[in-house]
Structure 1
Amino acid sequence: MLEVAALRAGYGPIEVLRGVDLAVGPGEIVALLGSNGAGKSTLNNNVSGLYRPFGGSIRFEGEEITGASSMHIVKAGLVQVPEGRRVFPNLSVRDNLELGSYRRGKPHRAANLERVLEIFPRLRERLTQSAGTLSGGEQQMLAIGRGLMGEPRLLILDEPSLGLSPLLVEEMFGLIGRLNRQGLAILLVEQNVVQSLALAHRAYVLENGRIALSGSAADLARDPDLRRSYLGH
């Protein structure tokens, strides 16, 4: 579905990504792992059309989308749930969710809203509440629900476990697994190495703007270099 080839990107004169190759197939969870500053969010922002790459190619379902507008990319079905949730704090939960179908999914808005509320029953109880008054975990549910309202073909989740309690992290990863079993392809961008590798089919490790390791998630979980770097043993 998603093919990234020799991607170079950054900000102004600073090159952050130095020739990244990455792919996500239909029905896969692919984890993109790396520490802060490795270039994970830069990759997301270029794939999502928020920035224009310096070079390389990004294709989605066979269509070249390198440098396309974010609106075009969302309409094609590539939807990102950004790091830090970024809900609209002064709008209600319902309004936040409905905004997710602004560019895509509008004809099925009512059915999609019902589906999201079945996935996240806590949001149903808070539909009229301002999003800014929700807990961190509830805001993360809202951000993912808003992404699902756009009927994504591929969902990019940028650090969905960030700032959540261990119990909510377990719940979040369980939810991601359920969405995938329903057929949704997911690019999971995370620092949480252990749980990401337990959930994903394949994984890439990004270091200093380059892919340092890639392969099946099970193989990477056993890789001694990755264990030393990220797990401390």
Structure 2
Amino acid sequence: MLEVQNLIAGYGGADVLRGIGLEVKPGEIVAVLGANGVGKTTLNRALSGLLKPRSGTIRFLGQEIAGLKASAIVAAGLIHVPEGRRIFPNMSVRDNLVLGSYRRGKPAREANLERMFELFPRLRERMGQAAGTLSGGEQQMLAIGRGLMGEPKLLILDEPSLGLSPLLVEEMFALIARIAGEGLAVLLVEQNVVQSLELAARAYVLENGRIVVEGPSSRIAADPALKHAYLGL
């Protein structure tokens, strides 16, 4: 579904990503793990068209998308839920969700809205409420729901557990498992190592702009040397 090869990207004269390669298969949850500052957000921005790569290839559903505009990448079905939620605080919960179908999913907008309210019952209760008045966990639900309104074929989740309480983190990962259980491919970019490895089929560990470890999550989670050297556990 997604195949990245030799991806180099950065800002100004500095390369942040130095030859990244990864893939996501249909219906798969894949985790990209790493500490702050290793290039995770830069990777997401390059994949979603917010940052033009210097070189390398990004193929999505067989189409080369490196360098395409973000709107074209969304239209193809690759949707990125950014770090920090980025909701529109002065707009209602419902209007935030509706905006998610601006580029994709318009014909089924009302049916998808109902699906979001079934998936996130708390959003139904707060449908007319200003999004900025929601709790952090509710705002994250709204951000994911807005992404799902675009009927993604691949959903990139950038640090969905960031800033949430331990109880809400558990709830968030259960929600991601439920979404993926319906067949949606998910690229989960996270600092939460333990739960990401429990959820994902495969994982890539990013360090200093390079993939230093990759493989089945079960192997990475069970290898003390890998956990100590690259994940700080």
TM-score category (smaller protein): over 0.9
- Cα deviation for residue 222 of structure 1 reads 1.3
User: Can you list the C-alpha shifts for 1:59-95, whole angstroms capped at 9, x where unaligned?
Assistant: 0000000100000000000000000000000000000
Question: How many residues are treated as equivalent by the alignment?
Answer: 233
What is the aligned-residue identity percentage?
Answer: 71
Q: Is 1:227 paired with 2:221?
A: no
1:230, 1:9 → 2: CA distance?
Answer: 22
Corresponding residue of 2:141: 141
2:63, 2:101 → 1: CA distance?
Answer: 22
The two structures, once aligned, show a CA RMSD in angstroms of 0.9
Q: In the superposition, relative to structure 1, how do residues 118 and 52 fare at CA in structure 2: closer, same or farther (>3 Å)?
A: same
Corresponding residue of 2:120: 120
Structure 2, unaligned runs of 5 or more: none
Structure 1, unaligned runs of 5 or more: none
Corresponding residue of 2:95: 95
Corresponding residue of 2:6: 6
Which letter maps to 1:127?
M
1:120, 1:75 → 2: CA distance?
Answer: 24
Relative to the length of structure 2, the TM-score reads: 0.98
Corresponding residue of 1:194: 194
- Cα deviation for residue 12 of structure 1 reads 1.1
Relative to the length of structure 1, the TM-score reads: 0.98
Q: Is 1:64 paired with 2:64?
A: yes
Corresponding residue of 2:161: 161
User: Can you list the C-alpha shifts for 1:17-37, whole angstroms capped at 9, x where unaligned?
Assistant: 000000000000000000000
Which letter maps to 1:39?
G
- Cα deviation for residue 223 of structure 1 reads 2.1
Q: In the superposition, relative to structure 1, how do residues 232 and 75 fare at CA in structure 2: closer, same or farther (>3 Å)?
A: closer
8 Å contact 1:193–1:230 — kept in the other structure? no
8 Å contact 2:205–2:230 — kept in the other structure? no
User: Can you list the C-alpha shifts for 1:39-61, whole angstroms capped at 9, x where unaligned?
Assistant: 00000000000010010000000
Q: In the superposition, relative to structure 1, how do residues 179 and 203 fare at CA in structure 2: closer, same or farther (>3 Å)?
A: same
1:44, 1:112 → 2: CA distance?
Answer: 25
User: Can you list the C-alpha shifts for 1:180-220, whole angstroms capped at 9, x where unaligned?
Assistant: 11000000000000000000000000000000000001011
